[in-house]
Amino acid sequence: MSFPHHRPRRLRQTPALRRLVAETRVHPAELILPAFIREGITEPAPLQSMPGVVQHSTDTLKRAAVEAAELGLGGIMLFGVPEVRDPSGSASLDPEGVLNAAIRSVRAEVGDDLVVMSDVCLDEFTDHGHCGVLDDQGRVDNDATLEIYAQMAVAQAEAGAHVLGPSGMMDGQVAVIRQALDAAGHQDVSIVAYAAKYASAFYGPFREAVDSQLKGDRRTYQMDSANRREAILEVELDLEEGADMIMVKPAMSYLDILRDVADMSPVPVAAYQISGEYAMIEAAAANGWIDRKAAILESVLGIRRAGANMVLTYWAPEIARWLREG
């Protein structure tokens, strides 16, 4: 008698067999490196809560972008940390402002060899740290914010961004940005819409990374972690408004959302493995509690398996090097 009848273990017997039947792979071309550029520094500033990640100076950012292109990464997503902030985040509109200048110098360095993406959001630029401007009661004013996003988007397109990432979760932001881009002759600049972006505790280290001035939280505009249906609504709206790609964020605590969105989206889906996800794995690895490389690769593979076509991850260059080494 032969028992058991089914032996799934057969296909796990050698590395070559496992490689043959692997359903999901990670490839450098699908990885996007988020990068911070800080105004007024000449040496990169390490981030305490994200060991291995820095706020770049212009020079080191350029080097990181060139390296990303050489490694065959899919793209780089730029975030600016300005020296001066005000209530309306006006430095975001200055063509010579930290983010717009960074876009220009990165494009000059990499041309079209790397997809240059930039964050369209006010939180790094406002002195209150919110993603939009405030009304006289201190609430985030959706429609007044849209007007600024439209100008910000045009400034970033003018600086040379290939793809814009509106991350502020204002209603109507994709439509307004698309309209403004088209009116300014930037029909070919794409939008990756942060469609399902949740109010998450895992953004903590990012707030250090951009010297966030935020007191309180973003729960009136970012989504509630309890909600799944709403993610589909947000994606549908962003698609209707003209999103070329959509994003789910964070990644690891929202893999179900990612799967739902991947199943219904007719456009490419990105997932953002955020600062807190990075910090957790680094901290556990530093304590010797997990195998760092294996955990990183498993985490990104899981995000891909859940349906992401692209993954924004601070480990993108390191993963690409591992993949190259085999």
Q: Which residues are catalytic?
A: 197, 249
Locate all alpha helices (DSSP H) within the chain, ordered by sequence: 15-21, 58-70, 98-110, 142-159, 173-183, 204-209, 229-240, 255-264, 275-286, 292-305, 316-325
Question: Could you tell me the two tokens for 66?
Answer: 């060139």
Quick one: which of 69, 133, 261, 274 contacts ligand PBG (CB under 6 A)?
A: 274
Nearer to ligand PBG, 190 or 222 (CB): 222
Q: Name the one residue in this structure whose structure tokens are 């020296």.
A: 83
Nearer to ligand PBG, 93 or 109 (CB): 93
With binding defined as CB under 6 A, does residue 55 bind ligand PBG?
no
Q: Name the one residue in this structure whose structure tokens are 């979760």.
A: 169
Q: How many residues bind ligand PBG (CB under 6 A)?
A: 10
Quick one: which of 36, 125, 198, 203 contacts ligand PBG (CB under 6 A)?
A: 203
Single out the segment in contact with ligand PBG by CB under 6 A; choices: 23-31, 100-108, 119-127, 137-145.
119-127
With binding defined as CB under 6 A, does residue 119 bind ligand PBG?
yes
Q: Distance between CA atoms of 40 and 325, rounded to whole angstroms?
A: 37
Quick one: which of 36, 125, 198, 206 contacts ligand PBG (CB under 6 A)?
A: 206
| Least gap, CB of 109 to ligand PBG (angstroms) | 23
Residue whose C-beta lies closest to ligand PBG? 206
Single out the segment in contact with ligand PBG by CB under 6 A; choices: 98-106, 115-123, 138-146, 281-289.
115-123
SS3 310: strand
Quick one: which of 78, 121, 232, 245 contacts ligand PBG (CB under 6 A)?
A: 121
Alpha-carbon separation of residue 52 from 33, 278, 282, 316 (angstroms): 13, 10, 9, 12
Q: Which residues contact 13 (CB under 8 A, 6 or more apart)?
A: none
Quick one: which of 55, 156, 275, 299 contacts ligand PBG (CB under 6 A)?
A: 275
Contact (CB, 8 A) for 110 and 65: yes
Spell out, one character per residue from 283 to 322, where the chain touches ligand PBG: x when CB under 6 A holds, - when not. ----------------------------------------
Length of the chain: 326
Quick one: which of 92, 105, 142, 167 contacts ligand PBG (CB under 6 A)?
A: 167
SS3 157: helix
Contact (CB, 8 A) for 205 and 278: yes
| Least gap, CB of 293 to ligand PBG (angstroms) | 21
Single out the segment in contact with ligand PBG by CB under 6 A; choices: 36-44, 58-66, 94-102, 118-126.
118-126
Q: Distance between CA atoms of 209 and 254, rounded to whole angstroms?
A: 22
Nearer to ligand PBG, 173 or 265 (CB): 173
| Least gap, CB of 223 to ligand PBG (angstroms) | 11
Q: Which residues contact 87 (CB under 8 A, 6 or more apart)?
A: 126, 127, 128, 133, 134
Q: Distance between CA atoms of 211 and 182, rounded to whole angstroms?
A: 33
| Least gap, CB of 55 to ligand PBG (angstroms) | 13
Residues forming the site for ligand PBG (CB under 6 A): 119, 121, 123, 131, 167, 203, 206, 218, 274-275
